[in-house]
Amino acid sequence: MELARTHTFSGRQESPSPDNIPAHRRSRSRLSRVVRTSMFLILVVIVAGGAALLAFTNHSYVYTPSMYPTIPPGSMIFVEHEPTYHVGEVIEFHANGLVWAHRLIAIKPNGDLVTKGDNPASRPDVFFPPPRMNDVIGKVVYAPKFLGFPQLFVHHPAYAWQWFIFELGVIGKVILGLAVGVLVWFAFARNPKRTSLSPASAGVPTQPRDN
């Protein structure tokens, strides 16, 4: 019987070199890293922009449908103070202890302002006492949709979700679903699996058979 020194293979998993990783896996891994990095940078920009918006602008978020469809809930309104205000303008003003953003539809001879929401179901507002020019904060100059939803979600989450879904429409919902699916896929995409090398492929001699 011939004896020979034997070597025991530890079975330890070896990390394959990049050359051993299939090209499609390397490509998918790189694409996944690019997408995750891009999403992180976009999130940083959104957070920084939102902080700057809150700190340096005169704005309010809309949470009632009284101005729908002109300014739906979830919009953010930006106002500018003017020396005077005219019929037909949307103004932000104080009345009944609250802040309102409605359209100015009339100015009475005594200086009282008559306002009304654009919603067809709305009627002219009734305030006690009626607002006057010194109660006006400013004229609404810009009212982008969706920008006010973050604040609306914080204060009224269920109500905000209902309006958010409604405002998206069919196409928006499809696009949102696809975007979420892609993000989830990339977020959980695994890196190429490490493979175990057999003793033969690792160049380790096996124990010889008895003759």
Say if CB 167 and CB 74 are below 8 A apart.
yes
**pLDDT score for 39:** 74
Say if CB 111 and CB 132 are below 8 A apart.
yes
The total number of structural domains that make up the chain: 2
Question: Is there a single domain that holds both residue 93 and residue 173?
Answer: yes
Give tens-digit pLDDT for 66-113.
999 999 999 999 999 999 999 999 999 999 999 999 999 999 999 999
Question: Is there a single domain that holds both residue 37 and residue 140?
Answer: no
Question: Is there a single domain that holds both residue 83 and residue 26?
Answer: no
Question: Is there a single domain that holds both residue 172 and residue 93?
Answer: yes
Question: Is there a single domain that holds both residue 26 and residue 72?
Answer: no
CATH classification of the domain holding 129: 2.10.109.10
Q: What percent of the chain lies above the pLDDT cut of 70?
A: 70
**Taking the CA atoms of the chain, what radius of gyration do you get in angstroms?**
32
Question: Is there a single domain that holds both residue 96 and residue 171?
Answer: yes
Give tens-digit pLDDT for 14-59.
555 555 556 656 666 777 777 778 777 887 777 776 666 666 667 7
Task: Say if 67 falls within a structural domain.
Answer: yes
Task: Say if 209 falls within a structural domain.
Answer: no
